[in-house]
Amino acid sequence: MRKAPTPAERALWRMVGRDKLGVRFRRQHRIGPYIVDFLCPEHRLIIEVDGGQHNESAYDDRRDAWLRDKGYEVLRFWNVDVLRNADGVGRQICIALGRER
């Protein structure tokens, strides 16, 4: 678990933190053997914010499959998308929460 969030994680937290979308998110939350970037327990929604090291990652594929098997939906966004297209990222999160915007 990292103590210092990346700039993209800080930006996403500004979007979803403090119940800004009407639901509560947790940061750096453990689920089984994994730690997820953001979790909305009420909707079983996980949001991951990734850099280039995650491109075509077999580890991420296995991890996401395990989390989905446990009933979670996993959204993944690239750092650059969070930083440059916050409205689009926010829209996708709202759709996943059933709160179209």
Residue 2's pLDDT is what? 66
What predicted TM-score, i.e. pTM, was given to this entire model? 0.90
Query: Which residue segments constitute the domains of the chain, with CATH numbers given?
Result: 7-96 (3.40.960.10)
Per-residue pLDDT, 53 = 61
Scanning the chain, the segments in alpha helix (DSSP H) are 7-16, 58-69, 79-84, 86-96
pLDDT per residue as tens digits for the range 56-100: 678 899 999 999 999 999 999 999 999 999 999 999 999 999 987
Residues 6+ apart with CB under 8 A from 41: 24, 26
Instruction: Provide the pLDDT for residue 58.
Output: 87
